[in-house]
Chains A and B, each alone.
Chain A
Amino acid sequence: MSAPGSLSWFALHELRLVWRDALSMMTAGRRQRERLVAIFLISFAALMHVVAYTALEHVGKAGLHPDLPTLIAITAGLLLSGTAMLSQAMENVTRTFYTRSDLELILSSPAPAHRLFAVRIAAIGLSVSVMSLLFVGPFIDVLAWRNGPRWLAAYGVIVAVSLVATALAIVLTATLFQTIGPKRTRLVAQIFAAVIGGMFVIGLQLAAMFSTGTLSRLAFLRSDYVLTHSPPLGNAFWWPARASLGDEYAFGAVMIASLAVFLFVAGFYAPRFANYVVSAASVSRDRVRRRGSTRAFEVRPVAAALRRKELLLLARDPWLMSQSLMQLLYLLPPILLMWRSFTFGSNAASILVPVLIMAAGQLAGGLAWLTISGEDAPDLVLTAPVPRSRLLLAKIEAVIGCIAIVFAPFFLGLLIYAPALAMITAVGVEASAISACLIQLWFRAQAKRTQFRRRHTSSRIATFSEAFSSIMWAGTGAVAAAGSWLAAIVALLAIALVAGVRLLSPAQTT
């Protein structure tokens, strides 16, 4: 039994909260779903192992050797995981500063709060490594099974990367806090987190585009340019990759260095967290005045009023903005690719079509959840003298309007360069966005907008069908852009998928 207020006591408290939170996220708060979730997790792990086995089939029995191309590929993989972990850790650290939850209770008690924060920092490190291991773990298992247990060292390397990413996230967020103040940090840190999350992938994609003229990251990593400009084999830069390959010395060095960095940062910042939390809490009580308060009072028709409300709520919520920004960020390489097509007259623009259609579906899904399910004043909207169908239609109009604004520049750009591709993109974007809206409509479940990140937990069917419908519409666009009539068949399959989802959707009575 741990003594109250001790490090282990706080750790047990935290562990219980994290476990229940994770369970409620997976089961959407329904206890009868626990068995289903267990079956899903086992099936997911099995599927990931099959995927890993298939993907690594080309790796012979002799395994991988620490030559330059292998070290580059592993290092790129670690950097990819690292940026994703850094993004996730930054968001978790920001949440620790700004979400009060139980902090008021703990900070008002005589218990040493720095111990709780030390435990929370460790929990952040643990949670980000678990998320990465879920996806990377099966690949490590397959490599260990085929090429020997030395590959299991990669598990340690992932944990080491997560510790460094967490330490870096704390330093970055705390530095932002001290330099630009708690008021701006909330917004900037969240945007940073979103940008960092996509930075490495997008950076690689941009480099690939400018060197090989395609969006293939793999082609870039294998290019002569990268091989000739990389550090020599003996350089310490390759230690994490060597450690993943089972090099004992590199493994020891990586583990000790990462642990030392993490412990130093946690030890330095944990006692300061209480001050940050108090400063952040004071900021959230500040009055936020609207600029230009002399603006005329203007009553709009229902659809316009709903559209304006949704846009205002989105524009004024930095957290939701950063979540949406993350999706738009991935449009950056296609924009440059389009510019390159214009400038150099390549045919690369045709690969833009599926990318844009896919992005539209994903963005529309998120926005549709916000407008349809994420309603903070449901009573107000439901008691209004407007038919339910009119209200829902107005909300869908708001989403489609936003999508049209975001994708119009792409459409216009393509229209000048390749009118046929522009038309295919327009139809695909509309179809993908409408499908995502319909799925969100059929699976709507009233929730607070702050639960945006957890919207996927309310219905797995909605989540997967939304993703599959975007993929199928993107496929339709790709086949149509290639000039094949088979696009009609893919489109019919996409429609059939959406119709099938309708049959699976719960009845909506209120």
Chain B
Amino acid sequence: MLLGPNGAGKTTTLRMVSGLLKPDAGSISIFGIDALADPVAAKQIVGWLSDEPMIYDKLTPIEYLEFVSGLWNVETHVAEHRARDLLRWLDLEKFVDDRCETFSRGMRQKVALAGALLHEPSLIILDEPLTGLDAGSARLVKSVLADRVSKGSTVIMTTHILEIAERMADRIGVISSGRLIAEGTLAELREGLGGGNTSLEDVFLAIVERDHSDA
């Protein structure tokens, strides 16, 4: 889980890893693949979901997923099976033949998530995936992500809802002014601040404040 104040560089970092931005310097390695030297191989194993769900208004969810399958070159019978499973899990089954233009933000977010998961990526990168989702949808998305993690995928996501980070994250990274200023499990982060049973919100604010005073 990647946390940080507004403008810290969380989205920029994730967009660089996804191949949407080129870094000025440094390297990006995804499961041993140099993402800058071989972006196509890296993209094959990455799934990206933006905080602003970008889908085609005039396509239906199934047509959208058909198109995504073409981009990732997923075989027809495999893609169809996965697409229908994902739409069922995300409670979109009865909207399969409706055009996305009439969907709410949460429904659009779920269609975009289905697109990001269709090729079963090893690394799933999600920028604020739960924004705009109702409680039921948020729970659905979390269960789908948990399922992917149990099957061996890695999920990196950003969120401003620290309760979610506290409950979901195995490891937490705190980013500020484009730098990773802390990283570890919640227990390790607490340890770094002198221990105690403080909430993630207190830990996060303390880390950011310490970084600001150091600067």
Which one of B55, B66, B73 lies within 8 Å of A297 (CB-CB)?
A: B66
User: How many residues belonging to A are interface residues under a CB distance threshold of 8 Å?
Assistant: 37
- Measured in the bound complex, the distance between the Cα atoms of B79 and A313 in whole Å is 22
**How extensive is the interface on chain B, given as a class?**
35 or more
Q: Is A316 an interface residue (CB 8 A)?
A: yes
Q: Residues of B contacting A285 with CB < 8 Å?
A: 102
Whether A385 contacts B97 in the complex (CB less than 8 A), given A287-B102, A297-B83, comes out as: no
Which one of A286, A312, A382 lies within 8 Å of B19 (CB-CB)?
A: A382
Q: Is A65 an interface residue (CB 8 A)?
A: no
Of residues 250 through 309 on chain A, the ones whose CB sits less than 8 Å from some CB of chain B are 284-290, 293, 297-302, 304-306, 308-309
Q: Is A386 an interface residue (CB 8 A)?
A: yes
Q: Residues of A contacting B75 with CB < 8 Å?
A: 299
Q: Residues of B contacting A306 with CB < 8 Å?
A: 70
- B50 to chain A minimum Cβ distance, whole angstroms, is 5
* A379–B79 CB distance below 8 A: no
Q: Is B76 an interface residue (CB 8 A)?
A: yes
* B21–A376 CB distance below 8 A: no
* A380–B54 CB distance below 8 A: yes
Q: Is B71 an interface residue (CB 8 A)?
A: yes
Which one of B44, B74, B98 lies within 8 Å of A287 (CB-CB)?
A: B98
- A262 to chain B minimum Cβ distance, whole angstroms, is 35
* A312–B70 CB distance below 8 A: no
Which one of A289, A298, A308, A316 lies within 8 Å of B58 (CB-CB)?
A: A316
* B97–A289 CB distance below 8 A: yes
Q: Is B63 an interface residue (CB 8 A)?
A: yes
* B70–A300 CB distance below 8 A: yes
Whether A385 contacts B43 in the complex (CB less than 8 A), given A297-B80, A297-B83, A304-B70, comes out as: yes
Which one of B18, B46, B71 lies within 8 Å of A305 (CB-CB)?
A: B71
- Measured in the bound complex, the distance between the Cα atoms of B21 and A317 in whole Å is 31
* A290–B71 CB distance below 8 A: no
Q: Is A510 an interface residue (CB 8 A)?
A: yes
Whether A383 contacts B43 in the complex (CB less than 8 A), given A300-B70, A302-B73, comes out as: yes
Q: Is B101 an interface residue (CB 8 A)?
A: yes
Q: Which residue of B lies closest to A304 (CB)?
A: B70
Q: Is A507 an interface residue (CB 8 A)?
A: no
* A317–B18 CB distance below 8 A: no
- A505 to chain B minimum Cβ distance, whole angstroms, is 19
10 residue pairs, one from A and one from B, having the closest CB atoms: A305-B70, A384-B71, A297-B80, A293-B97, A385-B43, A385-B44, A316-B58, A377-B54, A299-B69, A288-B99
Q: Which residues of A contact B (CB under 8 A)?
A: 284-290, 293, 297-302, 304-306, 308-309, 312-313, 316-317, 376-387, 509-510
**Apart from the given pairs A298-B76, A376-B55, A385-B73, 10 other A-B contacts in the complex at a CB distance below 8 Å:** A287-B98, A290-B98, A298-B66, A299-B66, A299-B79, A308-B67, A376-B54, A381-B71, A383-B47, A510-B22
